[in-house]
Amino acid sequence: MTNPLEITDLVYKKNQKKIITDLDLTLKPGKIVALLGENGAGKTTLMRIISGVAKNYRGSVKVAGFTKEADRKGHLSFTDGLTGFANSTKISNIVKFYQILYQDFNLKQFEQLRDFMNLKPDLRLSELSKGMKEKLVIALTFSRRADLYLLDEPFSGIDAMARKKIIKSIILWKQEKSTILISDHFVNEIAAVLDEVVIIKNKTVCMQKSTEAIRADNQSVEEFYESFYQREEEE
Ligand SMILES: Nc1ncnc2c1ncn2[C@@H]1O[C@H](COP(=O)(O)OP(=O)(O)OP(=O)(O)O)[C@@H](O)[C@H]1O
């Protein structure tokens, strides 16, 4: 089966400054993977490159076996901050736009997710709090059928109770074979649903490990992440 993501020799510069260098990353089907790293490590940049929002990189980025940007976009689901919509746009109109733009957008699934998130369709973007916007982004992202879902710090504004509920349900919202790459700073909260951890440091992927292997070493995912940084500091 084709891997949802295969990146080789990725290099990305912005204003002459190297942001990502010599990065390789392969994700297998059906996995939930955390993308971890300190502020400024390059997590958002990597997601923007994979999704085709950031261009002019060197190296190969394949999504479900496809390298061309348009093909990649058809096989992955990523909601880039809703920045293209005016503040007065209603949720219902954003959904209409998604239905036109993406053939794989499933309205029924969206309505279920929207209700799960307690979002009223008549609300305008200007009426949404940070957490409500994040809930909308999650609902839109998971309303598409995709091989790869990208979630960039999806929960930073969502209250703890709702966050727990959403994390528990994530597994139900994806098809068995699709893969989720999710960046977050609170690894302990998502640890229970994770299959793998990928750490970005020094502008590249410096660690990829399954949570099964981490737990076999009698460590929690959080302990593993913390000890990784302690080890690096000692060296
Ligand atoms: N518009 C920009 N112009 C120049 N450099 C940028 C720009 N956006 C980001 N960078 C640089 O790219 C690097 C990676 O940033 P990025 O936002 O991808 O990190 P991140 O891991 O997502 O961080 P955080 O956890 O804080 O969200 C940083 O060093 C940052 O200074």
* Alpha-carbon gap, residue 153 to 183, rounded angstroms: 5
What is the reported pLDDT for 93?
Answer: 95
Q: Which of 45, 153, 200 to mutate to test the pocket of ligand 1 (most atoms within 8 A of CB)?
A: 45
* Alpha-carbon gap, residue 186 to 183, rounded angstroms: 9
Ligand 1 atom closest to residue 37's alpha carbon, by position in its atom list: 21
What is the reported pLDDT for 228?
Answer: 83
Task: Give residue 21 CA to ligand 1 midpoint distance, Å.
Answer: 14
Residue 83 burial by Cβ neighbours in a 10 Å radius (0-12, 13-18, 19+): exposed
Say yes or no: CB of residue 14 within 6 Å of ligand 1. yes
CATH topology of domain 5-234: Rossmann fold (3.40.50)
Per-residue pLDDT of the chain (235 residues), as tens digits, is 899 999 999 999 999 999 999 999 999 999 999 999 999 999 999 999 999 999 999 999 999 999 999 999 999 999 988 888 999 999 999 999 999 999 999 999 999 999 999 999 999 999 999 999 999 999 999 999 999 999 999 998 999 999 999 999 998 888 889 999 999 988 888 999 999 999 999 999 999 999 999 999 999 999 999 888 777 666 6
Give the angle 137-54-26 at the CA atoms, nearest 5°.
Answer: 80
Q: How does DSSP assign 50-80, residue by residue?
A: HHTSS---EEEEEETTB-SHHHHHHHEEE--
Residue 218 Rama label (left phi>0; alpha psi -120 to 50; beta): left
The length of the chain in residues reads 235
What is the reported pLDDT for 235?
Answer: 64
What is the reported pLDDT for 172?
Answer: 87
What is the reported pLDDT for 9?
Answer: 98
Ligand 1 atom closest to residue 152's alpha carbon, by position in its atom list: 22
What is the reported pLDDT for 123?
Answer: 95
CB–CB of 180/32 below 8 Å? yes
Say yes or no: CB of residue 45 within 6 Å of ligand 1. yes
Q: Which of 10, 12, 13, 14 to mutate to test the pocket of ligand 1 (most atoms within 8 A of CB)?
A: 14
What is the reported pLDDT for 150?
Answer: 97
* Alpha-carbon gap, residue 143 to 128, rounded angstroms: 20
122 phi and psi, to 5 degrees? -80, -10
The domain locations on the chain are: 5-234
Say yes or no: CB of residue 15 within 6 Å of ligand 1. yes
Say yes or no: CB of residue 132 within 6 Å of ligand 1. no
